Amino acid sequence: MLRRQFLGAAGTALAANTLAAPAALTASPALDDGPITAGDWTALRNLFPLTRDYIQLSTFLLASHPKPVADAIEKHRRAFDENPSDYWHEHYLTIDGEIASATALYMGGEPHQFALTDSTTMGLGLVYSGLKLDPGDEILQTTHEHYSSDMSIAHRAARTGAHVRKIALYDNPALFNIDEAVRRLKDNIAARTRVVAVTWVHSSTGVKLPIRALADIIDAVNADRKPADQIIFCVDGVHGLGIENQDVSKLGCDFFVAGTHKWIFGPRGTGVIWGSDRAWRRSNAVIPSFSLSYAVWLEQVTQEQVPLGQHMTPGGFHSFEHRWALPEAFKLHLQLGKANVEARIHQLNSQAKEGLAKMAHVKLYTPMSPALSAGFACFDVDGVTPDDVVARMHDKGVIMSSTPYRQSYARFAPSLLNNEQEIDRALAEIHAMA
Protein backbone atom coordinates (compact mmCIF):
# COMPACT_ATOMS: atom_id res chain seq x y z
CA MET A 1 0.00 0.00 0.00
CA LEU A 2 1.35 3.41 -0.88
CA ARG A 3 2.15 5.57 2.14
CA ARG A 4 -0.11 8.36 0.91
CA GLN A 5 -3.03 5.95 0.46
CA PHE A 6 -2.45 4.54 3.91
CA LEU A 7 -2.29 7.98 5.48
CA GLY A 8 -5.38 9.01 3.55
CA ALA A 9 -7.38 6.12 4.93
CA ALA A 10 -6.07 6.75 8.44
CA GLY A 11 -6.74 10.46 8.17
CA THR A 12 -10.34 9.93 7.07
CA ALA A 13 -10.99 7.63 10.00
CA LEU A 14 -9.38 10.03 12.44
CA ALA A 15 -11.27 13.01 11.12
CA ALA A 16 -14.51 11.15 11.75
CA ASN A 17 -13.53 10.56 15.36
CA THR A 18 -12.12 13.80 16.73
CA LEU A 19 -9.27 13.38 19.23
CA ALA A 20 -9.44 9.60 18.98
CA ALA A 21 -5.68 9.24 18.65
CA PRO A 22 -4.66 11.13 21.82
CA ALA A 23 -7.33 9.31 23.83
CA ALA A 24 -5.96 5.95 22.70
CA LEU A 25 -2.58 6.84 24.13
CA THR A 26 -3.81 6.90 27.70
CA ALA A 27 -4.00 3.11 27.91
CA SER A 28 -1.10 1.61 29.89
CA PRO A 29 0.32 -1.74 28.80
CA ALA A 30 0.00 -4.60 31.26
CA LEU A 31 3.25 -5.98 32.63
CA ASP A 32 4.11 -9.47 31.46
CA ASP A 33 4.97 -12.11 34.01
CA GLY A 34 8.66 -12.94 33.71
CA PRO A 35 11.51 -14.78 35.42
CA ILE A 36 12.49 -11.74 37.49
CA THR A 37 11.09 -11.05 40.92
CA ALA A 38 11.58 -7.82 42.82
CA GLY A 39 15.18 -7.38 43.90
CA ASP A 40 16.50 -10.62 42.37
CA TRP A 41 19.88 -9.31 41.21
CA THR A 42 21.35 -12.73 40.44
CA ALA A 43 18.48 -13.60 38.13
CA LEU A 44 18.85 -10.18 36.49
CA ARG A 45 22.56 -10.74 35.81
CA ASN A 46 21.73 -14.08 34.22
CA LEU A 47 19.58 -12.33 31.61
CA PHE A 48 22.67 -10.65 30.11
CA PRO A 49 25.19 -12.17 27.68
CA LEU A 50 27.76 -9.72 29.12
CA THR A 51 31.14 -11.43 29.54
CA ARG A 52 32.08 -12.55 33.02
CA ASP A 53 35.79 -12.40 32.21
CA TYR A 54 35.80 -8.88 33.68
CA ILE A 55 34.22 -7.01 36.55
CA GLN A 56 32.07 -4.47 34.73
CA LEU A 57 32.12 -1.04 36.39
CA SER A 58 31.24 1.02 33.31
CA THR A 59 28.05 -0.59 32.01
CA PHE A 60 26.36 2.82 32.13
CA LEU A 61 28.19 3.75 28.92
CA LEU A 62 26.20 1.53 26.55
CA ALA A 63 24.02 -1.28 27.83
CA SER A 64 24.32 -4.92 26.96
CA HIS A 65 20.83 -6.09 25.97
CA PRO A 66 19.06 -8.25 28.57
CA LYS A 67 17.17 -11.23 27.17
CA PRO A 68 13.66 -9.70 27.15
CA VAL A 69 14.97 -6.68 25.21
CA ALA A 70 17.07 -8.83 22.86
CA ASP A 71 14.10 -11.13 22.21
CA ALA A 72 11.84 -8.18 21.36
CA ILE A 73 14.47 -6.73 19.02
CA GLU A 74 14.80 -10.06 17.25
CA LYS A 75 11.02 -10.45 16.93
CA HIS A 76 10.71 -7.08 15.22
CA ARG A 77 13.83 -7.61 13.12
CA ARG A 78 12.59 -10.95 11.83
CA ALA A 79 9.21 -9.47 10.90
CA PHE A 80 10.88 -6.56 9.09
CA ASP A 81 13.18 -8.89 7.20
CA GLU A 82 10.26 -11.09 6.12
CA ASN A 83 7.92 -8.29 5.01
CA PRO A 84 9.16 -4.76 5.84
CA SER A 85 6.45 -2.80 4.03
CA ASP A 86 3.47 -4.54 5.55
CA TYR A 87 5.01 -4.74 9.02
CA TRP A 88 5.82 -1.04 9.14
CA HIS A 89 2.42 0.02 7.82
CA GLU A 90 0.67 -2.21 10.36
CA HIS A 91 2.40 -0.54 13.28
CA TYR A 92 3.74 2.93 12.63
CA LEU A 93 0.56 4.90 13.40
CA THR A 94 0.02 3.20 16.77
CA ILE A 95 3.30 1.90 18.12
CA ASP A 96 4.81 5.27 19.10
CA GLY A 97 1.76 5.77 21.30
CA GLU A 98 2.24 2.35 22.86
CA ILE A 99 5.89 3.13 23.57
CA ALA A 100 4.93 6.49 25.07
CA SER A 101 2.42 4.74 27.33
CA ALA A 102 5.06 2.27 28.53
CA THR A 103 7.46 5.16 29.12
CA ALA A 104 4.90 7.10 31.15
CA LEU A 105 4.11 4.01 33.20
CA TYR A 106 7.74 3.86 34.28
CA MET A 107 8.81 7.52 34.27
CA GLY A 108 5.59 9.30 35.23
CA GLY A 109 3.88 12.08 33.32
CA GLU A 110 1.36 11.58 30.52
CA PRO A 111 2.00 9.58 27.33
CA HIS A 112 1.38 12.57 25.06
CA GLN A 113 4.24 14.45 26.77
CA PHE A 114 6.95 12.09 25.52
CA ALA A 115 8.97 12.37 22.32
CA LEU A 116 11.10 9.45 21.18
CA THR A 117 14.74 9.96 20.17
CA ASP A 118 17.89 7.96 19.47
CA SER A 119 20.04 9.28 22.34
CA THR A 120 20.52 11.91 25.01
CA THR A 121 22.52 13.98 22.55
CA MET A 122 19.72 13.94 19.98
CA GLY A 123 17.21 14.85 22.68
CA LEU A 124 19.28 17.78 23.92
CA GLY A 125 19.79 18.99 20.36
CA LEU A 126 16.06 18.82 19.66
CA VAL A 127 15.06 20.60 22.87
CA TYR A 128 17.53 23.47 22.63
CA SER A 129 17.08 23.86 18.87
CA GLY A 130 13.31 24.05 19.24
CA LEU A 131 13.07 26.58 22.08
CA LYS A 132 11.58 29.92 21.06
CA LEU A 133 14.26 32.50 21.80
CA ASP A 134 14.83 36.10 20.73
CA PRO A 135 18.09 38.01 20.30
CA GLY A 136 19.31 39.11 23.71
CA ASP A 137 17.52 36.32 25.60
CA GLU A 138 19.78 34.50 28.03
CA ILE A 139 20.45 30.80 28.45
CA LEU A 140 21.90 30.23 31.92
CA GLN A 141 23.80 26.95 32.14
CA THR A 142 26.30 25.45 34.54
CA THR A 143 29.99 24.78 34.02
CA HIS A 144 29.30 21.14 34.89
CA GLU A 145 27.51 20.25 31.65
CA HIS A 146 28.54 17.48 29.28
CA TYR A 147 29.79 18.31 25.80
CA SER A 148 26.38 17.39 24.32
CA SER A 149 24.54 20.02 26.36
CA ASP A 150 27.30 22.57 26.01
CA MET A 151 27.39 22.39 22.22
CA SER A 152 23.61 22.11 21.74
CA ILE A 153 23.22 25.35 23.69
CA ALA A 154 26.08 27.05 21.85
CA HIS A 155 24.63 26.11 18.45
CA ARG A 156 21.21 27.47 19.42
CA ALA A 157 22.67 30.72 20.71
CA ALA A 158 24.62 31.21 17.48
CA ARG A 159 21.44 30.80 15.42
CA THR A 160 19.21 33.06 17.51
CA GLY A 161 21.46 35.76 18.94
CA ALA A 162 20.69 34.53 22.45
CA HIS A 163 23.39 35.00 25.07
CA VAL A 164 24.90 32.11 27.05
CA ARG A 165 26.19 32.54 30.59
CA LYS A 166 27.85 29.77 32.58
CA ILE A 167 27.97 29.46 36.35
CA ALA A 168 29.42 26.93 38.78
CA LEU A 169 27.03 25.55 41.38
CA TYR A 170 29.95 24.23 43.45
CA ASP A 171 33.73 24.45 43.56
CA ASN A 172 34.65 21.28 45.44
CA PRO A 173 32.35 18.36 44.57
CA ALA A 174 33.26 16.43 47.70
CA LEU A 175 31.92 19.35 49.75
CA PHE A 176 28.82 19.95 47.63
CA ASN A 177 26.18 21.86 49.57
CA ILE A 178 22.54 22.16 48.51
CA ASP A 179 22.00 25.57 50.07
CA GLU A 180 25.07 26.95 48.32
CA ALA A 181 23.97 25.58 44.95
CA VAL A 182 20.48 27.04 45.37
CA ARG A 183 21.92 30.42 46.38
CA ARG A 184 24.23 30.53 43.39
CA LEU A 185 21.38 29.84 41.00
CA LYS A 186 19.14 32.42 42.62
CA ASP A 187 21.85 35.09 42.56
CA ASN A 188 22.55 34.53 38.86
CA ILE A 189 19.05 34.58 37.35
CA ALA A 190 18.71 37.81 35.41
CA ALA A 191 15.83 39.73 33.85
CA ARG A 192 16.63 38.29 30.39
CA THR A 193 17.12 34.71 31.56
CA ARG A 194 14.71 32.52 29.57
CA VAL A 195 16.31 29.09 29.93
CA VAL A 196 18.13 27.37 32.79
CA ALA A 197 20.08 24.25 31.79
CA VAL A 198 21.48 21.75 34.27
CA THR A 199 22.42 18.09 34.53
CA TRP A 200 20.82 15.98 37.24
CA VAL A 201 23.78 13.68 37.95
CA HIS A 202 27.20 14.92 36.85
CA SER A 203 29.24 12.26 35.10
CA SER A 204 32.25 14.51 35.67
CA THR A 205 32.15 14.36 39.49
CA GLY A 206 29.24 12.17 40.55
CA VAL A 207 27.36 15.10 42.15
CA LYS A 208 23.55 14.80 42.04
CA LEU A 209 21.81 18.16 41.93
CA PRO A 210 18.69 18.93 44.02
CA ILE A 211 16.45 19.54 41.01
CA ARG A 212 13.32 20.18 43.09
CA ALA A 213 15.06 22.84 45.19
CA LEU A 214 16.43 24.56 42.07
CA ALA A 215 12.98 24.38 40.48
CA ASP A 216 11.46 26.14 43.48
CA ILE A 217 13.75 29.14 42.86
CA ILE A 218 12.76 29.22 39.19
CA ASP A 219 9.06 28.87 40.03
CA ALA A 220 9.30 31.87 42.37
CA VAL A 221 10.87 33.97 39.59
CA ASN A 222 8.28 32.81 37.07
CA ALA A 223 5.42 33.76 39.36
CA ASP A 224 6.27 37.44 38.76
CA ARG A 225 6.69 37.13 34.98
CA LYS A 226 4.41 37.14 31.98
CA PRO A 227 4.05 33.67 30.42
CA ALA A 228 6.21 34.54 27.41
CA ASP A 229 9.05 35.68 29.68
CA GLN A 230 9.01 32.74 32.07
CA ILE A 231 12.06 30.51 32.41
CA ILE A 232 12.09 27.03 30.89
CA PHE A 233 14.03 24.64 33.15
CA CYS A 234 15.85 21.94 31.14
CA VAL A 235 17.48 18.87 32.70
CA ASP A 236 19.84 16.31 31.22
CA GLY A 237 18.65 13.39 33.31
CA VAL A 238 20.40 10.43 31.73
CA HIS A 239 22.43 9.38 34.78
CA GLY A 240 19.47 9.56 37.13
CA LEU A 241 17.02 7.64 34.92
CA GLY A 242 17.18 3.97 35.80
CA ILE A 243 18.53 4.72 39.28
CA GLU A 244 16.37 7.20 41.16
CA ASN A 245 12.81 6.29 42.14
CA GLN A 246 11.38 9.51 40.73
CA ASP A 247 8.31 10.61 38.78
CA VAL A 248 9.88 13.02 36.28
CA SER A 249 6.71 15.08 36.04
CA LYS A 250 7.11 15.89 39.76
CA LEU A 251 10.84 16.56 39.65
CA GLY A 252 10.26 20.26 38.97
CA CYS A 253 11.79 20.70 35.52
CA ASP A 254 10.07 21.58 32.23
CA PHE A 255 12.12 19.30 29.99
CA PHE A 256 13.79 16.04 30.99
CA VAL A 257 16.10 14.45 28.41
CA ALA A 258 17.68 11.01 28.63
CA GLY A 259 19.02 8.17 26.58
CA THR A 260 17.51 4.82 27.50
CA HIS A 261 20.48 2.64 26.54
CA LYS A 262 22.40 3.26 29.76
CA TRP A 263 21.21 2.51 33.32
CA ILE A 264 17.75 1.48 32.16
CA PHE A 265 19.17 -1.32 29.91
CA GLY A 266 17.12 -0.22 26.92
CA PRO A 267 17.95 -0.99 23.29
CA ARG A 268 21.05 0.75 22.00
CA GLY A 269 20.12 3.85 20.05
CA THR A 270 17.01 4.85 22.02
CA GLY A 271 16.09 7.85 24.14
CA VAL A 272 13.20 10.00 25.31
CA ILE A 273 12.24 13.60 26.00
CA TRP A 274 9.61 14.40 28.60
CA GLY A 275 8.19 17.90 28.39
CA SER A 276 5.43 19.62 30.30
CA ASP A 277 2.55 20.91 28.19
CA ARG A 278 3.72 24.47 28.91
CA ALA A 279 7.26 23.70 27.78
CA TRP A 280 6.20 22.03 24.54
CA ARG A 281 4.09 25.10 23.71
CA ARG A 282 7.28 27.19 23.98
CA SER A 283 8.99 24.97 21.42
CA ASN A 284 8.98 24.32 17.70
CA ALA A 285 9.44 21.00 15.97
CA VAL A 286 12.94 20.66 14.51
CA ILE A 287 12.65 17.55 12.32
CA PRO A 288 9.37 16.62 10.57
CA SER A 289 7.52 13.84 12.33
CA PHE A 290 6.17 10.72 10.64
CA SER A 291 3.33 10.56 13.14
CA LEU A 292 -0.16 11.96 12.64
CA SER A 293 1.60 15.22 11.79
CA TYR A 294 1.93 13.78 8.30
CA ALA A 295 -1.87 13.60 8.10
CA VAL A 296 -2.02 17.25 9.20
CA TRP A 297 0.20 18.11 6.24
CA LEU A 298 -2.25 16.21 4.02
CA GLU A 299 -5.04 18.36 5.54
CA GLN A 300 -6.91 15.30 6.81
CA VAL A 301 -6.69 16.00 10.55
CA THR A 302 -5.94 19.04 12.65
CA GLN A 303 -2.77 19.69 14.63
CA GLU A 304 -4.77 19.46 17.88
CA GLN A 305 -5.33 15.77 17.16
CA VAL A 306 -1.60 15.03 17.28
CA PRO A 307 -0.07 14.29 20.70
CA LEU A 308 2.61 16.88 21.48
CA GLY A 309 5.36 14.35 21.93
CA GLN A 310 4.62 12.58 18.69
CA HIS A 311 4.75 15.88 16.82
CA MET A 312 8.21 16.50 18.28
CA THR A 313 9.47 12.95 17.57
CA PRO A 314 11.84 13.04 14.56
CA GLY A 315 10.46 11.28 11.53
CA GLY A 316 12.25 9.28 8.88
CA PHE A 317 13.20 5.64 9.04
CA HIS A 318 15.03 4.49 12.16
CA SER A 319 16.28 1.18 13.51
CA PHE A 320 12.66 0.45 14.35
CA GLU A 321 13.36 -2.97 15.85
CA HIS A 322 15.35 -1.23 18.61
CA ARG A 323 12.93 1.59 19.33
CA TRP A 324 9.93 -0.72 19.30
CA ALA A 325 11.60 -3.01 21.86
CA LEU A 326 12.06 -0.19 24.41
CA PRO A 327 8.97 -1.06 26.52
CA GLU A 328 10.64 -4.32 27.54
CA ALA A 329 13.38 -2.42 29.38
CA PHE A 330 10.81 -0.43 31.36
CA LYS A 331 8.89 -3.61 32.17
CA LEU A 332 12.04 -5.26 33.45
CA HIS A 333 12.81 -2.37 35.81
CA LEU A 334 9.24 -2.31 37.08
CA GLN A 335 9.43 -6.02 37.81
CA LEU A 336 12.58 -5.41 39.83
CA GLY A 337 10.87 -2.53 41.65
CA LYS A 338 11.98 1.09 41.29
CA ALA A 339 12.58 1.50 45.03
CA ASN A 340 14.64 -1.71 45.07
CA VAL A 341 16.72 -0.53 42.12
CA GLU A 342 17.45 2.81 43.76
CA ALA A 343 18.42 1.20 47.05
CA ARG A 344 20.66 -1.40 45.41
CA ILE A 345 22.64 1.03 43.26
CA HIS A 346 23.11 3.41 46.19
CA GLN A 347 24.20 0.49 48.38
CA LEU A 348 26.91 -0.62 45.96
CA ASN A 349 28.09 2.93 45.35
CA SER A 350 28.25 3.63 49.07
CA GLN A 351 30.37 0.51 49.48
CA ALA A 352 32.72 1.73 46.75
CA LYS A 353 32.97 5.28 48.13
CA GLU A 354 33.49 4.16 51.71
CA GLY A 355 36.26 1.82 50.60
CA LEU A 356 37.99 4.49 48.53
CA ALA A 357 37.71 7.08 51.32
CA LYS A 358 39.68 4.83 53.67
CA MET A 359 42.72 4.75 51.38
CA ALA A 360 45.39 7.36 52.12
CA HIS A 361 46.62 7.37 48.51
CA VAL A 362 43.12 8.04 47.08
CA LYS A 363 41.21 11.31 46.91
CA LEU A 364 37.45 10.87 46.56
CA TYR A 365 35.54 13.65 44.78
CA THR A 366 31.98 12.32 44.80
CA PRO A 367 29.86 13.22 47.85
CA MET A 368 29.36 10.33 50.23
CA SER A 369 25.66 10.96 50.82
CA PRO A 370 23.19 9.14 48.51
CA ALA A 371 21.12 12.33 48.61
CA LEU A 372 23.94 14.13 46.79
CA SER A 373 25.15 11.36 44.48
CA ALA A 374 23.87 8.39 42.49
CA GLY A 375 25.79 5.85 40.38
CA PHE A 376 29.32 7.26 40.17
CA ALA A 377 32.38 7.31 42.41
CA CYS A 378 35.03 9.68 41.01
CA PHE A 379 38.53 9.69 42.49
CA ASP A 380 42.27 10.19 42.00
CA VAL A 381 45.09 7.79 42.88
CA ASP A 382 48.32 9.52 44.01
CA GLY A 383 50.99 9.42 41.33
CA VAL A 384 48.80 7.67 38.74
CA THR A 385 46.89 9.45 35.97
CA PRO A 386 43.19 8.57 35.56
CA ASP A 387 43.86 6.88 32.22
CA ASP A 388 46.66 4.82 33.73
CA VAL A 389 44.35 3.78 36.57
CA VAL A 390 41.87 2.56 33.96
CA ALA A 391 44.58 0.69 32.02
CA ARG A 392 46.04 -0.97 35.12
CA MET A 393 42.61 -2.04 36.34
CA HIS A 394 41.77 -3.47 32.93
CA ASP A 395 44.90 -5.61 33.16
CA LYS A 396 43.58 -6.87 36.50
CA GLY A 397 40.20 -7.77 35.04
CA VAL A 398 38.23 -4.66 36.01
CA ILE A 399 36.63 -2.45 33.35
CA MET A 400 36.14 1.11 34.62
CA SER A 401 36.46 4.56 33.04
CA SER A 402 37.92 8.03 33.36
CA THR A 403 35.74 11.12 33.11
CA PRO A 404 35.92 12.67 29.60
CA TYR A 405 36.21 16.28 30.76
CA ARG A 406 39.00 18.87 30.90
CA GLN A 407 39.49 17.87 34.54
CA SER A 408 39.56 14.08 34.42
CA TYR A 409 39.14 11.61 37.30
CA ALA A 410 39.11 7.84 37.56
CA ARG A 411 35.54 6.59 37.87
CA PHE A 412 33.73 3.55 39.24
CA ALA A 413 30.06 3.10 38.30
CA PRO A 414 28.60 0.15 40.21
CA SER A 415 25.29 -0.96 38.72
CA LEU A 416 22.63 -3.62 39.14
CA LEU A 417 24.92 -6.05 37.31
CA ASN A 418 27.50 -5.97 40.12
CA ASN A 419 27.64 -7.54 43.55
CA GLU A 420 29.42 -6.81 46.81
CA GLN A 421 32.25 -9.26 46.10
CA GLU A 422 33.07 -7.51 42.82
CA ILE A 423 33.24 -4.14 44.54
CA ASP A 424 35.60 -5.56 47.17
CA ARG A 425 37.87 -7.01 44.46
CA ALA A 426 37.97 -3.70 42.58
CA LEU A 427 38.78 -1.85 45.80
CA ALA A 428 41.57 -4.31 46.57
CA GLU A 429 43.19 -3.54 43.20
CA ILE A 430 43.05 0.22 43.90
CA HIS A 431 44.50 -0.44 47.36
CA ALA A 432 47.39 -2.32 45.73
CA MET A 433 48.37 0.84 43.83
CA ALA A 434 49.51 2.53 47.05
Starting at the earlier edge strand, list the strands of the sheet with 255-259.
114-117, 271-275, 255-259, 232-236, 193-199, 138-142, 163-167
pLDDT confidence of residue 36 = 85
Residue 12's pLDDT is what?
Answer: 43
Read off the pLDDT of residues 281-290 as tens digits, 9 standing for 90 and up: 999 999 999 8
For the segment 350-403, what is each residue's pLDDT rounded down to a tens digit? 999 999 999 999 999 999 999 999 999 999 999 999 999 999 999 999 999 999
The Cα–Cα gap between 321 and 126 comes to: 22
pLDDT higher than 80, residue 11? no
SS3 per-residue string spanning 351-373:
HHHHHHHCCCCEEECCCCCHHHE
Question: What is residue 35's predicted lDDT score, i.e. its pLDDT?
Answer: 66
Q: pLDDT at position 34, please?
A: 54
Q: Please tell me the predicted confidence (pLDDT) of residue 93.
A: 86
Averaged pLDDT score across all residues of the chain: 92
Helix (H) or strand (E) segment spanning residue 421: helix 420-431
Q: Average pLDDT, stretch 126-130? A: 96
Q: Read off the pLDDT of residues 224-242 as tens digits, 9 standing for 90 and up.
A: 999 999 999 999 999 999 9
Contacts of 294 (CB under 8 A, 6+ apart): 7, 288, 315
Can you give the pLDDT at residue 13? 40
Q: Give me the domains of the chain, ranges plus CATH numbers.
A: 95-333 (3.40.640.10), 339-431 (3.90.1150.10)
In tens, the pLDDT along 166-178 reads 999 999 999 999 9
> Is residue 26 over pLDDT 50?
no
The pLDDT tens digits for 73-127 are: 999 999 999 999 999 999 988 999 999 999 999 999 999 999 999 999 999 999 9
In this prediction, residue 291 carries a pLDDT of 85
Q: Are strands 193-199 and 232-236 parallel, antiparallel or unpaired?
A: parallel
Q: What is the pLDDT of residue 251?
A: 97
Signed CA dihedral, 371, 377, 380, 381: sign only: positive
Q: How far is CA 353 from CA 2, 4, 99, 100, 347, in A?
A: 58, 58, 37, 36, 10
Q: What confidence score (pLDDT) does residue 43 get?
A: 95
pTM of the model: 0.92
Residue 28: pLDDT over 70: no
Higher-pLDDT residue of 405, 13: 405
Instruction: Kindly tell me the burial class for residue 108, based on how many C-beta atoms sit within 10 Å of its own C-beta (0-12, 13-18, 19 or more).
Output: middle
User: What is the percent of the chain with per-residue pLDDT over 70, rounded to a whole number?
Assistant: 92
